[in-house]
Amino acid sequence: MDNKKSIPTNTITRDIKYLAEPTGNIYESVVVLYKRANQISLAEKKELNKKLEDFRNERDTMEEVFENKEQIEISKYYEKQPKPDLVAISEFENDELFYRRANKEEEKGF
């Protein structure tokens, strides 16, 4: 995830056969990608909110929100980042993701 420069910022057409190879099932691959993209999205949201919290003022209300240049630059930086699903797909294709299947016994509570 450190090399976000190599991740495309737009959607690429991919052959689903290659996405299904690591798990043996396209649906399992999609679940792995969904869960990783969700993790990335939540981490980025938390990081962005933490950075923007510094700009929050106690007197800010819905009608009266002051934005400064630094706040706008931070927001623009995050908008330019690759989308979480593209990062997850890149990690999956480069074998950078660790995932495992739950055992049937674990699912039943044994």
* pLDDT tens digit sequence for 34-80: 999 999 999 999 998 888 887 766 555 555 555 678 888 888 888 88
Q: Based on the structure, what is the number of domains in the chain?
A: 1
The answer to whether residue 107 is domain-embedded is: no
The answer to whether residue 50 is domain-embedded is: yes
The answer to whether residue 19 is domain-embedded is: yes
d(Cα 24, Cα 17) in Å, to the nearest integer?
A: 9
Residue 110's pLDDT is 41
Closest listed residue to residue 16, CA positions, set 4, 6, 28, 7 = 28
The answer to whether residue 106 is domain-embedded is: no
The answer to whether residue 51 is domain-embedded is: yes
The answer to whether residue 81 is domain-embedded is: yes
3, containing H or E segment: none
> How far is Cα of residue 110 from the mean position of the Cα atoms in its chain?
33
Residue 27 pLDDT greater than 80, yes or no:
yes
Residue 19 pLDDT greater than 80, yes or no:
yes
pTM of the model: 0.73
Residue 33 pLDDT greater than 70, yes or no:
yes
The answer to whether residue 110 is domain-embedded is: no
pLDDT in tens, 75-94: 888 888 889 999 999 999 88
DSSP 8-state code for residue 7: S
The answer to whether residue 78 is domain-embedded is: yes
pLDDT-based confidence at residue 108 (cuts at 50, 70, 90): very low
Q: Which domain holds residue 33?
A: 4-101
